Amino acid sequence: MATRRTSQDTSKRHLHWTIKVGTEENQARSFKSEEEETNGRRTALKTHAISLPTPRKKKLPSAASVSIARLRSVVSDLRRSRSGLLFGLGSRLIGTLFGYRRGHVHFALQKEPNSPPAFLVELATPISGLVREMASGLVRIALECDKRREGDRNVRLLEETVWRTYCNGKKCGFATRRDTGANERTILKAVEPISMGAGVLPATEAEGGELMYMRATFERIVGSRDSEAFYMMNPDSNGAPELSVYLLRV
């Protein structure tokens, strides 16, 4: 009896220990699986957080940049307005060559017969020398100036002040841009009714000599900001001299 009761107690303890160990193993597995699942979620969250794009902050224009942009816009508008008022010369101009018999040649370009000259230069060539060249029937006058430095490139071609002069390929000194004075205004006023022709105006006491002139319509051709050409238009080319004036910045 004692032996049987002892074996039963042993069996019960073994069964109880087996159940306890199994339960502890199941709990350990469950805890491990829960821990792995939690770690997996954390890893997934970290990966998801890394893959999200970082929003970029939009750069707002500063007050200084806005002010500079507005200033540039105003300056650009002023330049275009000035160009339209002073240099909107069109493709046809009135050109007048004039000078006293013992003086130098002056060349004036006007948009209208009664408008102030947009371009007026005094050449070193004497008027008598120009008359001799015109006798050949072909006259080419080239006015050449140097290009300016980087900071002075806003000067327009018709605003240049000093030019090297060539007449039919021969160097003839320098030409100088002139402001329209009282004497020039009087001369242009006297030839204002003449659309095309050449002649002599009577001598004045101030200059003491006759004034020779030639007036015609010139066609203006703009090659670039550094080159323009003016061709005298002859509706009747019977024996009339052919005259061209070239402005070049080299």
Q: Helix (H, G, I), strand (E, B), or coil: what is residue 94?
A: strand
pLDDT band at 108 (very low <50, low <70, confident <90, very high): very high
Beta bridge partners of 212: 99, 200
**CA–CA separation, 91 vs 221, rounded Å?**
7
Confidence at residue 85, expressed as pLDDT on a 0 to 100 scale:
39
Instruction: Confirm if 144 and 248 have CB atoms less than 8 A apart.
Output: yes
Per-residue model confidence as pLDDT tens digits over 2-49: 444 444 555 555 545 454 545 555 555 554 555 555 555 555 444 444
147-151 LR contacts (CB < 8 Å, sep 24+): 147/226, 147/249, 147/250
pLDDT band at 135; cut points 50, 70, 90:
confident
CA pair distance 229, 231, nearest whole angstrom: 7
- The pLDDT of 170-199, averaged and rounded, is 94
User: 148-172 burial, b for 16+ CB within 10 Å, e for fewer?
Assistant: eeeeeeeeebbebeebbbbbeeeeb
Nearest alpha-carbon partner for 226 in 151, 159, 141 = 159
pTM over 0.85: no
